[in-house]
Amino acid sequence: MAGAAKKRELDFTALPPSAVTEYTTRLCLACIFDIFTAQLGLAPRTAYSEIKKHSPSVEELTARDAKRPYFHTEEKHPRCPYCDAAKRWHARLDTYRIEGGKQTDAARRALIKSLPKSEDQFLIVEKKSTRRAVFFDWLDNLMRGLDLDEDAWLIEATRAFLERNDPKTGWAEIFEGVRAVRRSNRLEEGFEREGARLYLSPPLYNDALLVQYLVSRSHKHGGRTLEGRLTLMDLVRRMRYGGYLESRGITERDQFEILEQLVEHLTGGDAPVKLYYVVDRRDFLDKVKTVYAAYAS
Contact flag: residue 211 with Zn ion (CB under 5 A): no
Stretch near Zn ion under the rule CB under 5 A, chosen from 36-44, 81-89, 109-117, 285-293: 81-89
Q: What is the 3-state secondary structure (H, E, C) of 164-191?
A: HHCCCCCHHHHCCCCCEEEECCCCCCCE
Closer CB to Zn ion, residue 30 or residue 266? 30
User: Minimum distance from CB of 247 to Zn ion (Å)?
Assistant: 57
- Check residue 154 for interaction with Zn ion (CB under 5 A): no
Q: Which helix (H) or strand (E) holds 24?
A: strand 20-28
For Zn ion, the closer CB: 73 or 141:
73
Cα(77)–Cα(75) distance, rounded to whole angstroms? 6
Segment 7-66, which members bind Zn ion (CB under 5 A)?
28, 30-31
Question: Minimal distance in Å, beta carbon 82 to Zn ion?
Answer: 5
Q: Which is nearer to Zn ion, 50 or 84 (CB)?
A: 84
Identify which of residues 85 and 258 has a Cβ nearer to Zn ion in the complex.
85
Smallest gap from residue 83 Cβ to Zn ion (A): 3
Give φ, ψ of 64 to 5 degrees: -70, -40
82-111: contacts with Zn ion (CB under 5 A): 82-83, 85
Using DSSP's 3-state secondary structure scheme, residue 277 falls into strand
Give the interface segment with Zn ion, choosing from 9-17, 73-81, 137-145, 283-291 (CB under 5 A). 73-81
For residue 68, give Cα distances in angstroms to 32, 53, 123, 286: 9, 18, 21, 20
List the helix and strand counts (H, then E) for the chain: 13, 10
d(CA 147, CA 152): 8
- Residues near Zn ion, by CB under 5 A: 28, 30-31, 80, 82-83, 85
